[in-house]
Amino acid sequence: MVNDGKAAPIIHAALKRLEYRGYDSVGEATVYDGRLLIKKDQGKIDDVHKRLDLDDLPGKMGIGHTRWATHGAPSMVNSHPHTDCSNKIAVVHNGIIENFNDLKDELTDKGHVFVSRTDTEVIPHLIEENMKSGLNFVESVRDSVKRLSGSYALVAIHVDEPNKIVFARNASPLVVGISETGLYASSDIPTLLPLTKKIIEVYNGEMVILSEKGVEIRRIEDWSPIKRESSIITWTVEMAQKQGFPHFMLKEIHEQPKCLEDTLRLQQRYIDLLTTFLDRSKEIYLLACGTSYHSCLAASYMFSNLCNLPTLPVIASEFIEQYGEAVNIDSTILAVSQSGETADVLHAIEQARFKAATILGLTNAIGSTLTRVSRAYICQQSGPEIGVAASKTFTSQLMVLSQIALRLAKVRGKISQEKIDYLEEKMKDIPNMVDKIILNQEKKVKGIVEKYKNTKCFYFLGRGINTATAFEGRLKLLEISYIPSIAYPAGESKHGAISLVEKGFPVIFVCPQDGTRKALIGNIMEMKARGASIITIIDENDKEIKALSDEYVDIPSDVPELLSPIPYVVPLQLFAYYMAVEKGCNPDMPRNLAKSVTVL
Ligand code: M6R
C-alpha cells in the first residue's frame, strides 16, 4: 500500500525477491476506481510479466503471490489471487487449509461457485458469505479465519475498502514493513529490505489491518489489540542480492569463510544456555529435514564422541512414528532448521512439547516459528540464503553444533583439557581453510565436472562422521542437476548397492586422514576391483589414496575428524553447482522444490 504512485511495480519487484519460495505461477490484484483488477498466470514471474505486464495495473493498494502448488496443479485458474462470486474480494495465501473440502461443500450448498481446485479459494467465498450476514469486511475476514484449520499467511482486499489490506497468520510466516512512503507485508524479511528496514513480526493467531490509520494488530481469538514495537533489520539489501555471482548458490558457497567466522563470534552466552538444557537431558533428539538433517547426522557423532550422551538424529517427518511415544520429560529436542518454518519440523515439535520434552532450536531466521516454540535457540548466523539448495547452511550449522558439543563435553568433563584446547584452536582455522579450498580447488572441480558431465549416476561414500558429508554431496547433486545418485556409509555399500558398480562407474569417496581411513582404503579397493572410477576428496598429504584415485580434490592437512565435514563438503557443493550449470539447470531454482517447505 503506497502513499503515491502505483503499487503494482513494487509488488512485482517484491515477488521477484520472494520467488525462491515457489515459482510455478504468479499473480497480482489491485483495487482501482471501484474495480478489482487481476493479472495472473502459470509460469515463472519473468515469463508471466513478459506476457501480461505485471507493472501495468493501476492502484495504490494491491496484493501479489508467487506459488508452489500444493492443491491443484500449476495453471492460470489455480494461480492466486482468488476471488469470491461477486469478484469484489481477492485473497492470496501461503500454507494449506486442511478443512477446505468441508468448507467448499458447505459453501457450494449455499450457491457459491468455485473455479479452481485450490484450498485457498474457500477463503474469499467464506468472507463473502460472512459479509452477506451483515458483518463488515474486517469482521468477515476474522470470522472466516476462525473457521480455517491448517496453516496460513493470508491477505484479503475488498473493492469497497480501497484503503485497507487485511492479513492473518497461523503457522506460516508473515512480517509487516513500515516506511514513509507506504505500508507493506510479506512472507519474509529480505523481500521488504529495499522498501524498508523497519519491521514488525506477526505471530500465530494474529490479524493485521493496514490502512490510512497505520498498522493495527489484533488477536483473532478475542479481538484484543496488540501493541508491538517495530525493530530495525540490519541485513543490507546487498546482502540479499547476488553480488556479481551468476547464481545465489555460487555466491553462498563463496560466502562460507565469512559465515563461519561470524558463527565463531558472539555465540557464547547462547551456547552456554543451550548447553545447560542439554546437560539436564537423558537423551537428545536432533530433529531436521534435508541438509539440516545431514548436519544433525554429523552432529550426532560429535555429541556421542565428545559428550558420551545418546544423541539420535531424526528425519523430522519420521519423528512421531519413530519416537513419538518414547519422547518424554527427560528428552531434549534440538530442532535444526535454516528457515525455522519447515512444517515437518514444527509438526514433530508439537508432539514433543505435548510429551513435555524440552525444545531447543538452531535456525537462521530469528523471529521464525522455531524461535518462538523453542525454550532457547541459537542463530546459525549465515545471513539470508536464497539458493534453494542449502550450502552455507550446512557448514554454519555444523560450526555451531560443534561448539555446542564441545561446550557440553567440557561441562560434563568427558574429554581432556588437551583435546578441548586442540579442537578449539582448530575450529579457528576452519574459515581460512574453506577459503583456501574454494580458491585453489574450484577450477579442479570444474575440470572433473567437464570429464563426468555425461554420467548417468554417481555413488557417494564416506565413513563415520563423513557419512553425513557423502549424504549431503549426494543431495546437492541430485536436487539441482537431476542426476540420480546414491550415498552410503562405505561399509554398508557391500551389502547391496555395490552391485551397481561396473567399469567406469564413478564413486566419490570422502577420505580425511582419520580413524576411518584404513577401512576406507579397503572400500576403495573393492570398488576398483569392479572397474569403478575413483574420485576422492582427500587430505593433500595422502599420497597412498591419491595413487588409487582417478581424480582427487585436495583438502588442507590436519583437520580434526569431528570438524572434517565442514571443509570436505565444499568441493561436493562446487561439484553439484557446476554440474547443474553444465547441464543447463538453474541451481537456484530446482524444479518441484521450494526453499522453505511449509507444508506437511
Ligand atoms: O529450512 P530448513 O533447514 O528446515 O530446510 C530443510 C530442507 O527443506 C532443506 O535443507 C532442503 O533439503 C534443501 N533443498 C537442501 O538443499
**Does residue 377 lie within any of the structural domains?**
yes
CA distances 117 to 64, 79, 423, 596, 598, Å, are: 19, 10, 55, 23, 19
Q: What is the pLDDT of residue 235?
A: 73
What strands, in cross-sheet order, belong to the sheet with 35-42? 35-42, 25-32, 62-67
Same domain, 150 and 229: yes
Q: How does strand 231-232 pair with strand 182-186? A: unpaired
Q: What is the pLDDT of residue 597?
A: 86
Three cell numbers written together for 567: 571443509
Give 174-192 pLDDT, tens digit per residue: 999 999 999 999 998 889 9
Q: What is the CATH number of the domain that holds 132?
A: 3.60.20.10
Same domain, 284 and 147: no
Q: pTM of the prediction? A: 0.78
Q: What is the CA radius of gyration of the chain?
A: 25
Residues touching ligand 1 (Cβ under 6 Å) are 289-292, 337-339, 342, 345, 388-390, 475, 479, 593, 596-597
**Does residue 247 lie within any of the structural domains?**
no
Q: How far is the CA of 502 from the centre of ligand 1 (A)?
A: 33
Segments forming the whole domain that contains residue 188: 8-241
d(CA 318, CA 299): 18
Q: What is the pLDDT of residue 366?
A: 75
d(CA 30, CA 48): 17
Protein residue whose Cα sits closest to atom 14 of ligand 1: 389
Q: What is the CATH number of the domain that holds 429?
A: 3.40.50.10490
**Does residue 511 lie within any of the structural domains?**
yes
Three cell numbers written together for 91: 485473497
Q: What angle, 0 to 180 degrees and rounded to 10, lies between the N-to-C axes of helices 122-132 and 137-146? A: 120
Q: Which of 294, 315, 339, 481 to mutate to test the pocket of ligand 1 (most atoms within 8 A of CB)?
A: 339
**Three-class HEC string of 526-594:** HHHHCCCEEEEEEECCCHHHHHHCCEEEEECCCCCHHHCHHHHHHHHHHHHHHHHHHCCCCCCCCCCCC
Protein residue whose Cα sits closest to atom 4 of ligand 1: 337
Nearest atom in ligand 1 to 288's CA? 4
Same domain, 335 and 420: yes
Q: How far is the CA of 593 from the centre of ligand 1 (A)?
A: 10
Other Cβ atoms within 10 Å of 266 Cβ, number: 11
> Among residues 241, 270, 300, which one ends one of the domains?
241
Whether the Cβ atoms of residue 327 and residue 333 lie closer than 8 Å to each other:
yes
Other Cβ atoms within 10 Å of 50 Cβ, number: 11
d(CA 13, CA 214): 23
Same domain, 319 and 220: no
> Among residues 210, 241, 272, which one ends one of the domains?
241
Nearest atom in ligand 1 to 388's CA? 14
Q: How far is the CA of 293 from the centre of ligand 1 (A)?
A: 8
Same domain, 12 and 54: yes
Identify the residue whose cell numbers are 478475542: 222
Same domain, 388 and 289: yes
Identify the residue whose cell numbers are 485473497: 91
Q: What is the pLDDT of residue 329?
A: 95
Same domain, 57 and 127: yes
Q: What is the pLDDT of residue 43?
A: 92
Q: What is the pLDDT of residue 596?
A: 81
Q: What is the pLDDT of residue 239?
A: 65
**Does residue 433 lie within any of the structural domains?**
yes
**Does residue 600 lie within any of the structural domains?**
no
pLDDT per residue as tens, the chain (600 positions): 888 899 999 999 999 988 876 678 999 999 999 999 999 999 999 999 999 999 999 999 999 999 877 677 789 999 999 999 999 999 999 987 889 999 999 999 999 999 999 999 999 999 999 999 999 999 999 999 999 998 899 999 999 999 999 999 997 889 999 999 999 999 988 899 999 999 999 999 999 999 999 999 999 999 999 999 999 987 776 666 677 799 999 999 999 998 998 888 767 888 999 999 999 999 999 999 999 999 999 999 999 999 988 899 999 999 999 999 999 999 999 999 999 999 999 999 999 999 999 999 999 887 788 988 999 999 888 888 889 999 999 999 999 999 999 999 999 988 999 999 999 999 999 999 999 999 999 999 999 999 999 999 999 999 999 999 999 999 999 999 999 999 999 999 889 888 888 999 999 999 999 889 999 999 999 999 999 999 999 999 999 999 999 999 999 998 999 999 999 999 999 999 999 999 999 999 999 888 888 888
Whether the Cβ atoms of residue 116 and residue 77 lie closer than 8 Å to each other:
yes
Q: How many domains does the chain have?
A: 2
Q: How far is the CA of 194 from the centre of ligand 1 (A)?
A: 26
Q: What is the pLDDT of residue 599?
A: 82
In the three-class reduction of DSSP (H, G, I as helix; E, B as strand; rest coil), residue 474 is classed as helix
Q: What is the pLDDT of residue 317?
A: 97
Same domain, 227 and 272: no
CA 277 to chain CA centroid, nearest Å: 25
> Among residues 241, 267, 293, which one ends one of the domains?
241
Nearest atom in ligand 1 to 391's CA? 16
**Does residue 279 lie within any of the structural domains?**
yes
Same domain, 402 and 534: yes
**Does residue 329 lie within any of the structural domains?**
yes
Same domain, 194 and 279: no
Same domain, 232 and 86: yes
**Does residue 1 lie within any of the structural domains?**
no
Protein residue whose Cα sits closest to atom 9 of ligand 1: 290
Give the angle 402-405-407 at the CA atoms, nearest 5°: 110
Same domain, 192 and 269: no
Burial 365-374 (b: 16+ CB within 10 A, else e): bbbbbbbebb
